[in-house]
Structure 1
Amino acid sequence: MARLITLEDAKQLPFWRRPVALLFLMALAMPIAFNTWAALLNNFVIEVADFDGADIGLLHTIREIPGFFAVGVIAIIIFMREQVLGMVSLILLGVATALTAQFPQMGGILTLTMLSSIGFHYYETVNQSLQLQWLKIEDAPRMLGWLMAAGSLATLIAYLAIMALWETLQLSYNTVYMVGGGVTVVIAIFAMLAYPQFEAPTPQIKKMVLRRRYWLYYALQFMAGARRQIFMVFAGFMMVERFGYEVHEITTLYLINLVANMIFAPLMGRAVGYFGERRALAFEYMGLIAVFLAYGGVYWLGWGALIAAILYVLDHMFFALALALKTYFQKIADPQDIAPTAAVAFTINHIAAVFLPVLLGFLWLVSPAAVFLLAAGMAAVSLTLALLIPRNPAPGRETIFAHPVAQAAE
């Protein structure tokens, strides 16, 4: 069993074995499997399994069910350390990704999607908890930006390989999925063996935590989960279904997103630290309103593939500001609430995800533009909620309604 050391003692370790280094290694490992799966998904299910809009909506509903049950992490960490659970979840994600093309029928695709999703969502729940426990409040926005950039770098390497080799070597879906998933498994096993177990300064509560004073954070998480489905499920599907994008073209679009993210994510982290969470999130949501309305214009006004591709990149860039939601919670939370609230927040984030994709899949068959108009409305609700965040959030000052005297003095 790995040695248990405190964060203070970890400062004596070589830099590559410290907690922040492990966070970066995890940030590199997860996107290789997940984004390899995502890059090929729309082409794979359309070309191999003959999916339509309703089928892709069902797949994404299945994919989001484990996120709804992320609260189960609380029960698991009673018996297993968060750090270990994170590595096990990465291994499950990698193995399920590697096997995806082995089962090209509807049942097989949905089963492996469910398994990979359990790995992904449980990893993400634990990862968010460890980030907020291991990073200092004053460093968190900057470091979260760099962690996002690291994830983009890992995905960039995977996408460049797909772009360069897909047509040149006539790669199969099976080959790419096996390599992408296998790399994640290898990195996760290395991380389990090479790093000690890090003990955070504050022991975490190992039961469900729902606090009234976190209500705004819960509401923002719910809306973020509902809104994210539009981008995750239908933006990429639109590029393939309406404009006939092939694998290498979709990968090129993802590549542009990654380069933009590598450049702007660290800058956005610094911007959150400088301007604060309220302004950062308000800017994100205003941008998303404009983007989703413009997506509708692709259908209403017949705009072409280039406009849709530009909107896709802008959409992805605005989502990078979502790190402000993490730092907002870090500032208002009791330290012992971080792990259980991360699990509860993931469940709240996925409430809409369980039913929204399949319902919107049927709406998509009637009017794709209406799907994006609904997303713009969701972004508008999120903007309203973001304006309730105080300029300097802290325990006891979670919203603009808390301690009005103190708010007036800001």
Structure 2
Amino acid sequence: MRGLKARWDGASPALKAFLLGIVLLGANQGVLLSTFNNYLADSFRLSASGRGFVEFPRELPGFLLIFVTGALASFRMSSWAVITGVLSAVGVAGLGWLSPSVAVMTVWMLFWSMADHLFMPVESCVGLALSKEGGKGRRLGQISGARNLAMIAGAALVWVMAPGGPGGYRWLYLVAGALALASAAAFSRVDAGGDRGGGTRFVFRRSYALFYWLNVLFGARKQIFLTFAPWLLVTKFGLSPAAMAGLILAANGLGVVFRQAFGAAVDRFGERRMFIADGVILLGICAGFALSSDLALLCCLYILDNLMFATRIARTVYLDHIAVDKGDIPASLSLGITLDHAASMTVPALGGLLWTAAGPQAVFAAASVVALAGLGAGLAVPRFPKPGLRADTLGLAEGAARSAD
């Protein structure tokens, strides 16, 4: 504890303010992520295919992110962070109090989702700005671990308030909205030396093609497990909001340590090995969900899949290593997220139709194909990535095309 206190005392004011905002926004995310499937089931009685189609508008802000960040390119990253807090507060409060129908709920969901997606490049860029050379994975892991710790608090809040039926979500989401507003206040105090909005509105380089492909694959893989793994647990096994919150609590409790360890492993072993490990582990998770009816095993695999979302740290460090210009990073991260969500927006609807036609086993069998593609992409990552280095195994040509104001 003394060592932790000494590290905190020695941290810069910018890092302290950013971590405080991360904790507040993370608690907000913990509430939403642990209840959203139950909220939809309790409030709107959606079918599996209906649940899949809801993911299209929920992922739309991620697809549009490249345009949003382009419009905000002249603003500092701390301003982006403030915007995320305000948008999340408005969206979450609307979900709880002003959603009499699926159509209206979708409008408020767009606010919340835009906040969620806009914060992704903010967390990565500010994290890189607040890190030292050779310790970027470690810093990103620390920030991600802090967010996980806060998500535990959010999931625990669900346990305490335990919504019983549609009306029970109102007060829970009102508290979550207040946390988001408080995060905006904290982010307004961030003043990082490397804080930049990007300057360049749009960047596309052919030498970044493998980074883009990794994001597409992650979008497909991510959405299968964000949508259909919890949906299987809720609809087939009858897990309650408190039980789902318990899984989120376990995943984020382990994630506090795991993400920091993962970030340190990226610094030590390199991104390539971490991508390969992720592909192998995902194959095992897909096999479990496709073949097993053991609830305990499926819950463990669900937690493991949540932990492996830490590969975002490896993608960010990989981009930092191959970036021809460090000013490319914010716009490139945003383009990566847009490509991620191009997959995220189509996979749930297709998965819902596949579920209806052939059952959940078919959905997770299809996910194994994505896992194999991810493993192949990991093998294509150079052992020592550097700016302009070509991924020959994918036939990706070196070169660049750039559009900027």
- Alignment counterpart, residue 61 of structure 2, candidates 33, 46, 66: 66
Q: 1:74 to 1:88 in 2, by over 3 A?
A: closer
8 Å Cα contact 1:390-1:400 kept in structure 2? no
* Structure-1 separation of matches of 2:163 and 2:79: 39
- Alignment counterpart, residue 362 of structure 1, candidates 353, 364, 369: 353
Aligned to 2:209: 215
Q: Would you say 1:250 and 2:244 are equivalent positions?
A: yes
**More displaced, 17-26 or 276-285?**
17-26
* Structure-1 separation of matches of 2:190 and 2:309: 31
Aligned to 1:408: none
- Alignment counterpart, residue 222 of structure 2, candidates 228, 231, 247: 228
8 Å Cα contact 1:70-1:125 kept in structure 2? no
- Alignment counterpart, residue 391 of structure 2, candidates 386, 394, 399: 399
Aligned to 2:327: 336
Q: How does 1:368-379 map to 2 (within 5 A)?
A: 368-379=360-371
- Alignment counterpart, residue 275 of structure 2, candidates 257, 269, 281: 281
8 Å Cα contact 1:74-1:206 kept in structure 2? no
* Structure-2 separation of matches of 1:313 and 1:382: 20
- Alignment counterpart, residue 38 of structure 1, candidates 33, 40, 52: 33
* Distance apart, 1:401 and its partner CA: 5.9
Q: 1:29 to 1:150 in 2, by over 3 A?
A: same
Counterpart amino acid of residue 243 in structure 1: F
Q: Would you say 1:191 and 2:187 are equivalent positions?
A: yes
Q: 1:370 to 1:74 in 2, by over 3 A?
A: same
Q: Would you say 1:145 and 2:135 are equivalent positions?
A: no
Aligned to 2:116: 120
Aligned to 1:87: 82
Give the 3-state SS of the residue equivalent to 1:209 in structure 2.
strand
8 Å Cα contact 2:127-2:139 kept in structure 1? no
Give the 3-state SS of the residue equivalent to 2:203 in structure 1.
coil
8 Å Cα contact 1:59-1:113 kept in structure 2? no
Counterpart amino acid of residue 332 in structure 1: I
* Distance apart, 1:62 and its partner CA: 0.7
* Structure-2 separation of matches of 1:373 and 1:364: 11
Counterpart amino acid of residue 67 in structure 1: G
Give the 3-state SS of the residue equivalent to 1:62 in structure 2.
helix
* Distance apart, 1:371 and its partner CA: 0.8
* Structure-2 separation of matches of 1:22 and 1:354: 34
Q: Would you say 1:239 and 2:233 are equivalent positions?
A: yes
Aligned to 2:4: none
- Alignment counterpart, residue 386 of structure 1, candidates 378, 385, 391: 378
Q: 1:54 to 1:202 in 2, by over 3 A?
A: closer
8 Å Cα contact 2:92-2:112 kept in structure 1? yes
Aligned to 1:406: none
8 Å Cα contact 1:23-1:131 kept in structure 2? no
* Distance apart, 1:326 and its partner CA: 0.9
* Distance apart, 1:100 and its partner CA: 0.8
8 Å Cα contact 2:90-2:108 kept in structure 1? no
Q: Which deviations, in whole Å up to 9, do the C-alpha atoms of 1:336-371 show, x marking residues without a partner?
A: 111211221111111111222112111111221111
* Distance apart, 1:225 and its partner CA: 0.8
* Structure-1 separation of matches of 2:197 and 2:80: 17
* Structure-1 separation of matches of 2:132 and 2:195: 11
Q: Which 5+ residue runs of structure 1 have no aligned equivalent?
A: 1-13, 403-410
> Please, what is the CA RMSD of the aligned residues?
2.2
Q: 1:286 to 1:342 in 2, by over 3 A?
A: same
Give the 3-state SS of the residue equivalent to 2:21 in structure 1.
helix
**More displaced, 30-39 or 108-117?**
30-39
* Structure-1 separation of matches of 2:41 and 2:365: 25
Paired-residue identity, %: 25
8 Å Cα contact 2:73-2:199 kept in structure 1? no
TM-score (norm 1): 0.87
* Distance apart, 1:322 and its partner CA: 3.2
Q: 1:105 to 1:210 in 2, by over 3 A?
A: same
* Structure-1 separation of matches of 2:128 and 2:12: 18
* Distance apart, 1:261 and its partner CA: 0.6
* Structure-2 separation of matches of 1:213 and 1:382: 18
Counterpart amino acid of residue 343 in structure 1: S
TM-score (norm 2): 0.88
Structure 1 runs of 4+ off > 6 angstroms?
A: none
Counterpart amino acid of residue 319 in structure 1: F
* Distance apart, 1:18 and its partner CA: 3.1
